Amino acid sequence: MNITREHIDELNAIVKVDIAKEDYSDNVEKILNDYRKNANIPGFRKGHVPMGMVKKQYGKAVLVDEVNKLLQEALNKYLTEEKLDVLGNPLPKAQDNLNWDAEDFSFEFELGLAPSFEIDLKSKKAITHYNIIADDKMIDEQVDRIQKQYGKLVAKDTVEEGDEITGVFANEEKEIENKTTLPLEKIKSKKAVKALTGAKVGEVVELSTKGLFEDDHDLIQYLKVEHDDAHGLDITVHFTIEEVNKREPAELNQELFDKLFGADVVTSAEELKAKIKEDSEKQFVQQADQKLLNDVTEYLVENTKFDLPAEFLKKWIQETGEQALSEEQASEEYEKSEKGLRYQLIEGKIITDNNLQVTFEELKDFAKDYIKMQMAQFGQTEPEEEAVENIAQRVLSNQEEVKRLSDQLMSQKLITFYKENTNLKTKELSYNDFVKEVYG
């Protein structure tokens, strides 16, 4: 067997594989002998079928199969030994005149080669790394929500500002009849708020659905109309008031603190606010880090210049997809995937050059930390190590979970690396200001 390579240019090459009779003949003979021993052909005893008949019936199929196996093994070995960094898979060149009755064969494969390039991590313009804080307004709102959530309901007979109303929405034509509970503050329409305020239990209030809520999608929840009907719904509904309740906020006392965080973890309103701030800002770190990862990725893709074997990749997409694609469709698919492919190459180089690979021990420790965090959410703050170890083993036996956790761990490694090696500027702002600035 002989394998040679011809470089068309820096990104494209042709590999030629020459296979001689001595490369495959022994395997073919062995398989045909096994066929002969086990063949059941009328008129012949088992194991006594003439070899000529076996070759005539099975010889060509066995030859083709063995040559293809040999070809694939040799090609894979060659790419590994030559350390060729290829994109996609080798594409066999069409051979319309291939003669399987010959003794020697030649095959050619097109290769798309990964480009060589350098990465400049230091952008001229600093990339913003956000430090998101929980401001006093946000903390006070969270305390207010906690007090309402754990407060008690006091029954009333007349609707006033801040009350919760339980009643039935009805419209005979649209076949609406739905019992629901909603806070008065949920109603957007000033006319509807005026009609409900002062109404008593047992009264029927006539309301228009147009502009009733801030978002028409709320009609789906409170009136149980279909999604398509909710948009722009303009009908009159009757709302029969069955209950009116005022929610008295819970007291900020030790009983509430223990219910929220466990015995004596928090012992005062000041400590409660500090705990809310700490927990909120831990979550904000994840959002800020994801934003940083996205921004650095965008910078690297836009500023790391290299060519790709575009024509080869389009052809590869066209020939290897699950469904047959035209040249135009393959070009469209390539355009969609080009940016992702560029970042895969950039990320792969960063990981290799800086030894950021995920080891099994790191993955196992990461999985155990994740499991402990999940268990803590259900009150198991100090689980036994043996139990965590057993769960981790089960998780790591699932390839999908391994992939998911590996991706998360690699993202963490890359974020840490980017924080240390890219040109960053820190910007501190509240969560609401972060949302406005980043998402508009």
Round to whole Å and give the CA distance between 252 and 136: 17
Find how far residue 400's CA is from the centre of its chain: 12
Report pLDDT digits (tens) over 279-297.
Answer: 999 999 999 999 999 999 9
Report pLDDT digits (tens) over 67-93.
Answer: 999 999 999 999 999 999 999 999 999
Of the candidates 337, 353, 285, 296, the one whose C-alpha atom is nearest the C-alpha of residue 117 is: 353
Question: Over 80: is that where the pLDDT of 242 sits?
Answer: yes
- Regarding predicted confidence, which is higher, 58 or 255? 255
Helix axes 327-353, 399-421, angle to 10 degrees: 60
Give mean pLDDT, residues 115-125: 93
Looking at residue 324, its pLDDT comes to 80
Round to whole Å and give the CA distance between 255 and 268: 11
Q: What domains can be seen in the chain, in order of their start residue?
A: 2-113 (3.30.70.1050), 152-248 (3.10.50.30), 279-439 (no CATH)
Question: Over 80: is that where the pLDDT of 45 sits?
Answer: no
Q: What share of the chain is helix, strand, coil (3-state, %, to 5)?
A: 50, 20, 30
Question: Over 80: is that where the pLDDT of 377 sits?
Answer: no
Report residue 55's pLDDT band, with 50, 70 and 90 as the boundaries: confident
Report residue 112's pLDDT band, with 50, 70 and 90 as the boundaries: very high
Looking at residue 373, its pLDDT comes to 85
Cβ atoms of 368 and 384 closer than 8 Å: no
Cβ atoms of 111 and 8 closer than 8 Å: no
Task: Report pTM.
Answer: 0.74
Report pLDDT digits (tens) over 137-168.
Answer: 999 999 999 998 899 999 999 999 989 999 99
Looking at residue 212, its pLDDT comes to 94
Report pLDDT digits (tens) over 178-190.
Answer: 999 999 999 999 9
Average the pLDDT over each of 14-18, 19-23, 53-57, 369-373 and give the range with the smallest value. Answer: 53-57
Share of the chain above pLDDT 90, in %: 77
Of the candidates 146, 144, 166, the one whose C-alpha atom is nearest the C-alpha of residue 155 is: 166
Give mean pLDDT, residues 406-416: 95
Sequence-separated contacts (24+) of 432-436 with Cβ below 8 Å: 432/138, 434/130, 434/132, 434/284, 434/287, 434/288
Round to whole Å and give the CA distance between 346 and 264: 50
Looking at residue 262, its pLDDT comes to 83
Looking at residue 193, its pLDDT comes to 95
Looking at residue 320, its pLDDT comes to 84
